[in-house]
Chain A
Amino acid sequence: MKELSLNILDIAMNSVKAKAENIGIFIEETDETLSVTISDDGCGMSEEMVKSVTDPFCTTRTTRKVGMGIPLLKLAAEQTNGEFSIKSSDKPDDHGTVTRAVFYKNHIDFTPLGDVISSVTTLIQGAPDIDWKFVHSKGNKSVELDTKELRAVLGDVSLSNYEVIKWIEDYLKEGYESI
């Protein structure tokens, strides 16, 4: 992947497929590190599955027998001396997955974050009925988006509506100008 934002898009797609109702994307930056956490309340995975997901030959897809999404994110983090973890539970009363990757920004093999706004709007366009929460914080400043707040104003107008997607894009762009 050319940008970390593409890894984020890819991993969040897993949450969509897991039929999550709430998905959170949290990016936290310090001078040295950038950490990405993607959390969902989807169906989750069994312990056995969690152990094997970092293996590229594990996949949920039916068209082929390899899945590269999680291994690619893990690799991107580890090549900067960073860390990767995934926690999941498929218990009926407590299910979901949290994927976290920490990157060292000054490492030569750090993949730039890229156009994360585009990843967020792509996700919302594709799964407008999910409640998305996005927070990118740098020190004490942050950019935040919570689709629940937008939905309260929009009523039955879908978040996938082009005007709404455009608004979200501009809103996030404005937010990034201030951090």
Chain B
Amino acid sequence: MKSLAELAAIREQMKDKVVLREGSGEIRVVVGMATCGIAAGARPVLNAFVEKVSEAGLNEKVTVTQTGCIGVCQFEPVVEIFEAGKDKVTYVKMTAEKAAEVVEKHLKGGQVVEEYTINKALS
């Protein structure tokens, strides 16, 4: 049985990490979660980012957030990646599988996965 005691244990583990959090969020992953995004499959994409970022140990560096309609509904699910000092990268028609690949190659490896970007979709 899941118990509240486990949450207390999580709180204990986090004690040290909270300090590290300061000045974090170097990279922001923003998933469009308006009606258009949700209908197109944004929920599994968001969940894949949350899970894979954590598995890759990138929690201190990467923040996964949600937003409303980004304005290019025909390309949903849309994910934007913001990184200080770099151009915004917009990934389109995302899936959970593509999200896992973006975490591995882009967020971890620093290489934009051009194939899934809006620029590629428009070219």
Contact = CB atoms under 8 A, between A and B. Distances in A.
Contacts of B4: 149-150, 153
A137 interface: no
Contact of A154 (B11, B34, B38, B73): B11
B47 A121 contact: yes
Contacts of B38: 1, 6, 9-10, 13
A61 B70 CA distance: 10
B68 A61 contact: yes
Contacts of B33: 9, 13, 122, 126
Interface in A57-102: 61, 63-64, 67-69, 72
Contacts of A68: 35-36, 39
B-side binding surface: helix, strand, loop or mixed? helix
A-side binding surface: helix, strand, loop or mixed? helix
Contacts of A170: 2
Nearest to A71: B35
A15 to B, nearest CB: 13
A18 interface: no
A164 interface: yes
Nearest to A121: B47
A157 B11 contact: yes
Interface size class of B (residues with CB under 8 A): 20 to 34
B1 interface: yes
Interface string A100-128: 00000000000000010011011001100
Contacts of B59: 162
Contact of B54 (A61, A118, A162, A171): A162
Nearest to B3: A171
B50 A167 contact: no
Interface in B3-54: 4, 6-8, 10-11, 13-14, 18, 33-36, 38-39, 43-44, 46-47, 50-51, 53-54
